[in-house]
């Protein structure tokens, strides 16, 4: 992973961790459900944004390398991997 991206992703994840701990406190303190749901939406948005950064890094580095390698098997594995990631079932 690109070092700049790695630092950014770690910073984001630490912030998300703090948000999740805040949610735990809110539950322990019997916070209003609507407030909890709003905070949960914020956490989900932050995770999506972080995932986008990781996805871009993966495409720019790992995927690009596999496709430029000239190895058709590596390219096919990469295509299969991307399809699996994009279309796996979300629970």
- Which CATH number among 2.60.120.620, 1.20.58.1000, 3.30.1300.10, 3.20.20.80 corresponds to the domain 3-87? 1.20.58.1000
Q: Please give the pLDDT value at position 90.
A: 64
pLDDT in tens, 10-34: 999 999 999 999 999 999 999 999 9
Q: What is the rounded distance in angstroms from the CA atom of residue 27 to the CA atom of residue 16?
A: 17
Q: What local confidence, expressed as pLDDT, does residue 86 receive?
A: 86
HSE-up (13 A, CA, CB side) for residue 45: 7
DSSP 8-state assignment for residue 88: S
pLDDT at position 2: 86
Domain boundaries, the chain: 3-87
């Amino acid at each position: 992973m690109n070092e700049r991206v790695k630092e950014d992703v770690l910073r984001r994840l630490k912030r998300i961790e703090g948000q999740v701990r805040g949610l735990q406190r809110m539950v322990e303190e019997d916070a209003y459900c609507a407030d909890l749901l709003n905070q949960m939406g914020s956490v989900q948005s932050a995770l999506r944004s972080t995932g986008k950064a990781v996805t871009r890094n993966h495409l720019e580095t790992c995927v690009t390398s596999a496709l430029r390698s000239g190895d058709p098997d590596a390219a096919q594995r990469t295509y299969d991997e991307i399809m699996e990631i994009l279309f796996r079932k979300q629970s």
